[in-house]
Chains A and B, each alone.
Chain A
Amino acid sequence: MLRAMLYVQWRAARWLLVPFVLLAFGLPLLVLGAARRFALEGGELLPERLIALQSEAVFFFPALAALTGFVVALAVWQWDHRTGHVYALSLPVSRPRYVLLRLLAGMALLAIPVAALWAGAITAVAATPVPAVLHAYPLAFGLRFLLACLIAYTISFAFAAGTMRTTLVVVIVLVAFLSLGTVAVEVTERLTHTTDLYRPIELLHLALLTWPGPFQVFGGNWLLIDV
C-alpha cells in the first residue's frame, strides 16, 4: 500500500519538485562560490570574511526548506481535494491509516530535495579550500535542512489535511490571541505602571522560535563553513 501511495505521490509532485531540487543543489554552490570569490585576498581566503559573506545569504536556506515542505504538503493532498476525497474515503483503510500513508509518502518525497542539497553542499565544500581555523559542516547542514523541511511539511500537511473551516479557526484564534493579548498587556502596564510584561508576539517568538520551540531550526546556524 505504501509503495502504491508513494508512486501516486511521486506522480502528483514530481514536476513541482524540479525547481526545488535545482535550487537545493545550486544554492550552496552559489552562496559558497560567491563568498569564496569575495573573501579572497592576496591568494588566501580570509576566514572572517568567508563567514560574514555566508551569513549574508543565510536566509535563503530556511526559506527554501519552508517552501519545499509547504509545496510537498500541498501536492500530497491536491488530488484528494479535487475529487472531494470520495475516492480516498471509499478505499478499505481506516482514515488514520490513510493519513499516515499520505504523510509517510510525502516525507519520502522530501528526501529528493534534501539529497540534492546534500550533494550541492558536498560539491561546494570540495571546491573551497577551507582555511585552517575553519571547518566544513555539509552533513550537519543537510540534517538541518532535512529537519526544517520536515517541520514545514508536517505543519502544512496538518493544515492541508483539514478543512478550510479548521484553518480559519486556527487563524482567528491566533489573531485574537495577538490582538486581545496586546490590548490586555497595554492596559495592565498602564494600570500597574510596569513595563516588563511580555507582548503576545514576544511570547510566540519565545515559544516557537527559541529552543525548544519547533521553529528554532529555522533561525539556527545555517553556515556551511564555520569555526
Chain B
Amino acid sequence: MTQAIETRGLRYRAGSFEIRSLGLSVPAGSIYGFLGPNGSGKTTTIRLLLGMARRVAGEVRLLGHDVPAQLPAALGRIGYVPERPHLYQALTVAEALRFHGAFYPAWDAAWAESLRAQFALAAGQRIGRLSKGEVGKLMILLALAQRPDLLILDEPTDGLDPIVRRDVLTAVLEYVAEMHATVFVSSHLVHELERICDWVGVLDHGSLVAQLPIEHFKSGVKRVRFGTPPVLTNGLHLEVISRGADPVGAGELWVVRNWSDDLGHSLTEAGAHVREVIDLDLEDVFVELLRGSRQPV
C-alpha cells in the first residue's frame, strides 16, 4: 500500500519541548486520526509535515514528494485547515475564494460556489465578521474546492457547535467517498474520530505511542479483571499497558493489548483466574494507552 504521508526519524526541538524520532505512516486513501492530549505535539507535527517548522533531523514525504525540496508541488495537492483561522480578515468570502483559487491548478470554482451556498456563507460578508462556525466552514470549503488528494485537518471542529460540526464532517466524508482522498485529522475529540477514522495514531509528549488500524486499536485492547494474575513469560504474546490493584475486590486490574479468547484460555490453563474481560471504547483505549506510556509496566 502506498503512503500518503511518511516520516522517518523526524525530530524537532523548541526549548524543553521535543518531537522524538517520529515515524508516521499514513496509508493512501485512509482517514487517519491523529490523537493526542493538548500539548502533545500534534500541531507541531503538522507544521513539520507542511514545512512550516524547521526539523532537527529526519525525512518527510507527502504524496511521494520530498519535503521541503518539493514542497510547492506537494502543497498544490494538499488541503490544509489549521487549528486557528489563518485567512485574511478584511477580505469578503467571495474575495477569499478568488484569491485562494488563483493558486491551485485544480480549483473547482463551480463546486466552491455550490459549497458556499450549502454552508450558507454570504459572498459579500467580511471574514472578520463571520462567526467561528462560519469561519470553520469557509476553511473547509477552501480546502475541499482545491480538489486535494490529501486533506490535513488540525482540530477542524474544535469549538464548533454540533450542527456545524456535522456539516463540516459530512462535507469531508462526501469528498473522500467521491475522490478516494486521504484525510489526516488531528483531534482530541476521540468519539468524533471513532466514527470516521480507519487508522489511528496516538502522540504523547512528542512520541508516537501507537499507530494501527482502528479495529485493531480497539479490539485488541481490553481491561481484564484477574482474581489471580498470570505470571508473564517470554512466550506470552500479551502487551500489558497498565496494571494495578483492582478497586473492586481482591485481585488485579490490567489493561492489555493483543488480547484474544485463545490467549484467555492459555492464561487460565497456566493458573491465572480471569474474572472479567471488558471491551473499551476508543476514548478508554486512548486514556489507558496514554496512562501506560507515561507509567511503563
B87: which A residues are within 8 A, CB to CB?
Answer: 83, 87
Task: Say whether A91 contacts B90, CB under 8 Å.
Answer: no
CB distance from B79 to the nearest CB of A (A): 9
Interface string of B58-84 (1 = CB under 8 A from A): 000000000000011111101010101
Q: How many residues of B contact A (CB 8 A)?
A: 26
Most chain A CB within a 10 A radius of its CB, from B50, B98, B103: B103
Residue A126 CB within 8 A of the other chain = no
**A92/B88 in contact, CB under 8 A:** no
With a cutoff of 8 Å between Cβ atoms, the chain B residues found around residue A92 in the complex are 72-76, 78, 103-104
Give the docked Cα–Cα distance between A86 and B86 (Å). Answer: 6
Interface size on A, residues (CB 8 A): 20
User: What DSSP secondary structure best describes chain B's contact surface?
Assistant: loop
B44 to chain A, nearest CB (A): 13
Q: A8-B91, A83-B87 are in contact. Are A90 and B99 (CB under 8 A)?
A: no
Q: Closest CB-CB distance, B95 to chain A, in whole Å?
A: 7
Complex Cα spacing A11 to B91, Å: 8
* Docked CA distance A138–B131 (Å): 51
Q: Does B236 contact A (CB under 8 A)?
A: no
> B220 in the interface, Cβ–Cβ < 8 Å?
no
Q: A86-B82, A89-B51, A90-B82 are in contact. Are A8 and B88 (CB under 8 A)?
A: yes
List residues of chain B with CB within 8 A of the CB of A90.
50, 52, 75, 80, 82, 86
**7 nearest A-B residue pairs (beta carbon):** A4-B102, A92-B76, A92-B75, A86-B86, A87-B86, A83-B86, A79-B88
Which B residues fall within an 8 A CB radius of A? Answer: 50-52, 71-76, 78, 80, 82, 84-91, 95, 98-99, 102-104
Chain A residues near B (Cβ < 8 Å):
1, 3-4, 7-8, 11-12, 79, 82-84, 86-87, 89-94, 97
